[in-house]
Amino acid sequence: MFDAEKFIEKTVDQLQEKIKGKALIAFSGGVDSTVCAALVNNAIGDRLIAVHVDTGYMRKNESIDVKKMMEELGLNYRFIDASKEFYASLKNVEDPEEKRKIIGEKFIRLFEKTAKEEGIEYLVQGTIAPDWIESGDELRDTIKSHHNVGGLPEDIAVKLVEPLRDLYKDEVRKVARVLKLPVSERQPFPGPGLAIRIIGEATPKRTEVIREACYIVEKEIENAVKQGIIEKPWQYFAVLIPVKTVGVQGDKRVYGYTIAIRAVQSVDAMTCKYSHIPHEVLDNISIKIANALGNEINRIVYDVTNKPPGTVEWE
C-alpha cells in the first residue's frame, strides 16, 4: 500500500540531494502543486520561489485566494498577471490541442523569464501520473496534451523536477493530509483552466460567462454536499458549448448558447462514472444559471458520459 509518510521522507531527501541551487515552482494552488511546493520547501527552504500565473482563465476569485494561500504557507512567491497575454495568444484558436500547447508554451516562457532574472536553474512541477500517461509518448497514444507535459516545448532552458510523477490524485491527497495542507480535498482544476471549458474560441467574453457558470455549479453542488443530499463528486463544473438554440424569454424569442453541467465520481481520474445528481440539485443549478446568464445562455444540459468513452473535461 502507498505509505504517505515514507513517501514524504524519501522525497525530501531526494530533493535535497538533487536541487543544488535555486528552484522555481509552477504554483497553481491546486493539490498537486501545493503538495509539491511543501515538499520542496521542506527540502530547500527559501531557495524555492513559487510563481503563480493568473492566466485570465482562472475561476472566480481564484488567483486572489491563491495569493493568500502562498502567504499563509510562508512561501517565497511571485505573482504574475498575464491574462491579457493569454487572451491575445488564444485569439482565433479553436482546436483543443492547439489551445493546450499554446498555454503550455506560454507558461514555460514566463517561468523561464523569472528563472533567468533570478538565476534559477530548476523548474518544479506537480505533474502526476495521468498527466504524462494521457499526454502520450513513443508507445502511447496522445489523449490530450497536459499543459505541463505534452504542452511543454522541446527546448526548455531549465531542469525539470517532478516529484509526484508516479502518484495519482488520491495518493497526492494522502500526502496533503499528512502535511496538513488546506487544499487536500480541493477538486482538480486543469492547468489550461477555463480555456478548455469553452468549446471553440476562448474569448474574454465567453470566459466571463463560463466563469460565472462554473461558480454557480460549484456553489450549488457544495451546498448539496453540505446538506448531505449528495456525496462530494470528484470534479464538478460547467462547459460552454457555442451551439445556439431557440428560447423564449419575457415573451421574446432568443437564440443563445448552451451550458453543459458535468459532475463525475472517480478515485484516480483514469476511469470515471458520471455523478447521479438528484433533479432538485440540477434544477437549482439550471435556474441560477438561466437567471444569471439569461442574455447569453438559454439551454442547460447534464452530461451523462462515463470515462471511457468520454474524458472528464470536454477538451
Partner 1 sequence: MVRIYVIDNGGQWTHREWRTLRDIDVDTKIFPNTTPFEELDNENIDGLVLSGGAPSVALESKLGNCTEYLEKAYFPILGICAGHQFMAQFFGGEAAPSKVPELGKIELTLLKDDMLFEGVPKKSIVWESHNDEVSVLPKTFEVLGESESCKIQAMRHKEKPFYGLQFHPEVEHTEYGEQIFKNFVNMCKT
Given the complex with partner 1, which of 45 and 308 has the nearer CB atom?
308
Given the complex with partner 1, which of 11 and 41 has the nearer CB atom?
11
Cell numbers that stand for 133 in this block:
500517461
Given the complex with partner 1, which of 125 and 266 has the nearer CB atom?
266
What CA–CA distance (Å, rounded) separates 255 from 88? 28
For residue 262, give the nearest of 200, 199, 205 by alpha carbon: 199
Given the complex with partner 1, which of 2 and 243 has the nearer CB atom?
2
Contact 228, 128 (CB under 8 A): no
Least Å from the CB of residue 266 to partner 1: 7
For residue 169, give the nearest of 296, 35, 273, 45 by alpha carbon: 35
Least Å from the CB of residue 286 to partner 1: 26
- Please give the residue ranges that form the binding site for partner 1 (CB under 8 A): 1-2, 129, 133-134, 139-141, 143, 166, 168, 266-268, 270-271, 273, 306-309
- Cα 38 from chain centre: 19
Q: What is the dihedral of CA 149, 153, 154, 155, to 10 degrees?
A: -130
Least Å from the CB of residue 268 to partner 1: 6
Given the complex with partner 1, which of 122 and 168 has the nearer CB atom?
168
H/E element holding 241?
Answer: strand 235-249
Least Å from the CB of residue 133 to partner 1: 6
Contact 237, 262 (CB under 8 A): yes
Least Å from the CB of residue 306 to partner 1: 4
